[in-house]
Amino acid sequence: MRAAVTLTLAEAAALLEPPLTEAQLRAIIRALGWKPDGHRPSGPSGGRPAAAYDATRLLKLHEVLAPFNEVSLRYVQAVAMPGHSMAPPFAWR
């Protein structure tokens, strides 16, 4: 049986390349609906424990987000073309 390695958001933010801030990482995790895999004590003075997430998932986060980044980049490039309207490539309902 393998023991799961977990990271807090602060630890993951320091390791990810290209870098993300802890706030950006928290927003992405929340949007993806990921739940913590555990919690870490906050230190000797007590306080709220820090959420910890599976290290493998966190370190592959850019891979998970790549399709969304590609769609955004194509849209920005299309909108930047001369004569192109600012309408999104889909209909809002």
The secondary element (H helix, E strand) that includes residue 23 is helix 22-32
Residue entry with tokens 């993806």: 32
Query: Where do the structural domains in the chain lie, given as residue ranges?
Result: 6-80
Give the CA distances from residue 13 to residues 7, 41, 66, 79, in Å, rounded to whole numbers and listed in that order.
9, 18, 17, 31
The single-letter DSSP state of residue 7 is E
CATH number among 2.60.120, 1.10.1660, 1.10.1740, 1.10.3470, domain 6-80: 1.10.1660
The answer on pLDDT for 38 being more than 70 is yes
Q: Mean pLDDT across the stretch 5-34?
A: 90
Determine contact, residues 52/7, Cβ cutoff 8 Å: yes
Share of the chain above pLDDT 70, in %: 69
Residue 56: left (phi > 0), alpha (psi -120 to 50), or beta? alpha
pTM, entire model? 0.66
Is 50 or 78 the better-scoring residue by pLDDT?
A: 50
In the predicted model, what is the mean pLDDT of the chain? Answer: 78
